[in-house]
Amino acid sequence: GAVVSQHPSWVICKSGTSVKIECRSLDFQATTMFWYRQFPKQSLMLMATSNEGSKATYEQGVEKDKFLINHASLTLSTLTVTSAHPEDSSFYICSATFYEQYFGPGTRLTVT
């Protein structure tokens, strides 16, 4: 139980385009989902906290207009990277909370 999926697992997009990443809790309802970013050989950095039906709370330094988060249901949260640039290339990981945080497998984003 407590499986979190992400889609896609990897994506390549051109600079200036937008890309959407989905995070789903497959067998439980998650009132809170978190989005993290991880650069090579670095730790996970929390980007934002997403609660179902309300606006996401962004960490300091994270541009909310660039990283759009939608938590439309108790099993789905989406992260849209708008006007992506090469420096946005990273590993994006979501987690969903059901008494405990369960992490998704991550999405590798490469912006060319």
Partner 1 sequence: KNQVEQSPQSLIILEGKNCTLQCNYTVSPFSNLRWYKQDTGRGPVSLTIMTFSENTKSNGRYTATLDADTKQSSLHITASQLSDSASYICVVSAMEYGNKLVFGAGTILRVKS
Residue from 105, 109, 110, 111 touching partner 1 (CB under 8 A): that is 105
Which position among 7, 20, 66, 108 is part of the footprint of partner 1 (CB under 8 A)? 108
| CA gyration radius, the chain | 13
| Cis upstream peptide for 40 (omega within 30°) | no
Under the phi-then-psi rule, with left for phi > 0, alpha for psi from -120 to 50, and beta for the rest, what region is 16? left
Binding mask 48-77 for partner 1 (x = CB under 8 A): -x----------------------------
Q: Write the burial class of residue 50 (CB in 10 Å: 0-12 exposed, 13-18 middle, 19+ buried).
A: buried
> What minimum distance in Å lies between the beta carbon of 75 and partner 1?
17
Residues in touch with partner 1 (CB under 8 A): 4, 6, 41-46, 49, 91, 93, 95, 100-106, 108
